[in-house]
Chains A and B, each alone.
Chain A
């Protein structure tokens, strides 16, 4: 039986990761646990994850947060997809929606039928068979319809600093203690090296049983104190700089994030209610910081509201996210560029797994092992999916992209690509974020043409199949046109009733 759940939990670092952790712990951990968060107003936050994926709704619902209040507090807009511009050939454009594409037909996945018939359907891309993508293209938003064949998930673009503040209020109202101050020293137990306390510059000593490192890139506890090494993935994800800049809000905020490939990386555009988040991610070997800032300025769709904010990073993660009695959550654990909006998701998963494997006894061996196995898998699966975008580029305009196309990639990813290239089959796995629809979006969106597909999709009566697919796409277009404009829904404060959320990228259809 549980020996003791009455623990002193100390979170080092505020920001999105720190306050998400504090809020979730306040809600989920036993009342006997004390939760203290140490942060300093003198230390800025990176403010990761302005674009999110649908899992954030599950997190908010778990905490009992009302969606309309959340939208108001974080100046959020809805998000149904990410549009990738120029990632295949320079002129290419595709959506990665939070949905599957089309229904299974005759027990065969839809995309095989589409591949079989696409010669006769030059104007219908895979996006045409996703209601979420169609809504996004039309700058519209509606909650997913009950028809499961059309189901999708939705997420938000949000102001991460405001989200952290919102959660701070939530957490402090639930007895989370905030201590202002910089950590000057970390005290370790001489016998086993576990962390006993952090000492602030003021001399205040904050003791704990379990320490959560949310100190960002510094990785103050896990990296600096406990010496857990950082495993770099720069050889596969070569970008190491980002410059971010806010601009005025768009008149018609789209219900999707845009990612536009440039000659040396990519740019994001994230529409919020009160501003537009813009950024450029690039490889410093190929582009200088000043040039990057200038390129970003030139690409803005609205007047700038801030000076460029430069962020240096390296893709990779710590060899272990949980070491001794310290759990790293967020950037202190690892960093993957925001290409697929996974930062907040990885924070969320770390929090959930920390609660699932919460150590009841003093011995945390199994908690550590289980947590590290799980998070290691999550990071690597997301990593491979990001590498896919770079590796499958079909651009010919720069050494950067040529290098990405010809680089060695992880074996597991190579196997996945080979399988799809040969047979249009997406390698199956159940644990991890991105399932078949996501892989399809990128494979086909970036122009990987498979050599074959399921022979059952060879239409005996091709004309019938073509008509059927045309009718399907027309229906989705029609449904999208009939949906409210995204801008209007936001002006009304969001949906009146929020549908139940799932830990799932695609609504109820895939990836359960």
Chain B
């Protein structure tokens, strides 16, 4: 049977056109324009602004220069910091903690669950600037809540952002983003038919066996989906900038912050575009994996 349509083709095109225009201008055009810009020395001011020169692969050669690229504040160093950040805060932190919370409160509807879920969601939706300041106060070496609490247990005061900058932003971002994984895993767990678990209980399976043999296999695609999405988001997040500014001495300079410094503070558009191209290609790779997973899942 042919699908009924209530819109003629020209009419539906007209309905789509405003969206198409904006998406073309602010998503598709930027994606392609950075490729050509990354082969030039375009800048905002100076001679290169009026008359940008074609420089071939110079910008890329500069980024991937083996001698300097692992120096602090350079491209490779930033990529390595970002990798640790994604592993620590997204894959281990957010997904791990999210799964822990979802399992801990599985089939429970009590006050503790309600409080944990509400607080995690508040941490997730409060605007960036406010969160940045909250953590700045929380980690303050002399007056911060964290040191005040630790001193009760006899732990001496630490200057967290100076002594453990990367660890601090990893914990910060775990705190910030766990709610998404938590909610995603919770809704996936709730969609599993209770009869599976009841049957396994009757035959005497332990909790760990239940998780390993029933819950985990059924959650596999949800977990894969979650990991790819939070990797993508964590890879691009700029929020830690509000806590550390990328410092001290570039130790928390994630790719997003590095791109910002080169392309949007120093306005070296050519080099900034080369960085942006690399970032977007990594994004594209992650997004393709996501697409692949959700496609195979649908056809199953």
Is B truly associated with A? no
Query: Residues on B close to A: CB < 8 A?
Result: none
Query: Residues on A close to B: CB < 8 A?
Result: none
